[in-house]
Amino acid sequence: MKVAVIGARGRMGATVCEAVSKAEDMELVAMLDAGDEISVQSLAGAEVAVEFTLPSASLANTLALLEAGANVVVGTTGWDEFSLQAAATKAKDVGKSVLIAPNFGLSAVLLMSFARQAARYFESAEIIEFHHPHKVDAPSGTALTTAREIAAARAAAGLGEGPDATESDPLGARGAVVEGVHVHAIRARGLNAHEEVIFGNPGEQLVIRQDSFDRTSFMPGVLLAVRNVGKRPGLTYGLGALLDLD
């Protein structure tokens, strides 16, 4: 399978180039970055293009890659509804596939799936996310998504708010509240990206935890997407669709 990488000089792009080069069933045929034109020629026969650039560049790149005849795997974050729709329409128009996943980490995707399954069985559910101190936003996008999915599963099961007698919390020690689910963010040197979901019932606790130690953690998910994107015409959102989870 011939693969192109867009954003190849970036941190994620360079890691993808290395992973594709090492994969026995793949050949890295094009490495493009800012300033390089996306065209049939520059893609050099790539069947799949992997895009890890900037939120401001990702939609235009994706449309150009589809137009040039490649199936596209996108890891760049920040996609809104409008952009997703535009990519879906273009993929349909040109008869190609695009897979967009805000998180290619298998452990994170599995954690969200397991948390969705467990949510309806427990009175209490809280999330702790742990990241390196360079991260500028809190809580993390993955923690937000996890909280929203737990909240939706609780609502569907008719569960109300979790038990909590706190009356006074002037310093915000109970964390952010996302649709009724408390989310706590830790920022500390030595960490990378980690998340813990704590479920509680009288006399029992379930803790689901995932740890992403470095960028290589995303590569099995990216390679899975590269191998499978062409089998799914149009737009696929999220890696879960390839993992047969739900």
Ligand X SMILES: NC(=O)c1ccc[n+]([C@@H]2O[C@H](COP(=O)([O-])OP(=O)(O)OC[C@H]3O[C@@H](n4cnc5c(N)ncnc54)[C@H](O)[C@@H]3O)[C@@H](O)[C@H]2O)c1
Distances (CA, A) of 112 to 80, 108, 158, 231: 20, 6, 20, 24
Beta carbon nearer to ligand X, 98 or 119: 98
Beta carbon nearer to ligand X, 85 or 216: 216
User: Shortest gap between Cβ of 242 and ligand X (angstroms)?
Assistant: 13
CB-nearest residue to ligand X? 10
Q: How far apart are CA 80 and CA 82, in angstroms?
A: 6
Structure tokens at 50: 């992997």
Residues engaged in binding ligand X (CB under 6 A): 6-7, 9-13, 33-34, 52-55, 57, 61, 75-77, 101-105, 218
Residue 40 phi, psi (nearest 5): -55, -40
Beta carbon nearer to ligand X, 144 or 159: 144
Among the listed residues 96, 131, 184, 194, the single catalytic one is 131
Active site residue 184: no
User: Shortest gap between Cβ of 28 and ligand X (angstroms)?
Assistant: 16
Cα 231–chain centre separation: 20
**Residues in a beta bridge with 131:** 187, 193
Specify whether the CB–CB gap between 47 and 200 falls below 8 A: no
Q: How far apart are CA 48 and CA 28, in angstroms?
A: 10
User: Shortest gap between Cβ of 13 and ligand X (angstroms)?
Assistant: 6
Beta carbon nearer to ligand X, 13 or 91: 13
Active site residue 131: yes
Residue that the structure tokens 């329409």 belong to:
89
User: Shortest gap between Cβ of 51 and ligand X (angstroms)?
Assistant: 8
List active site positions: 131, 135
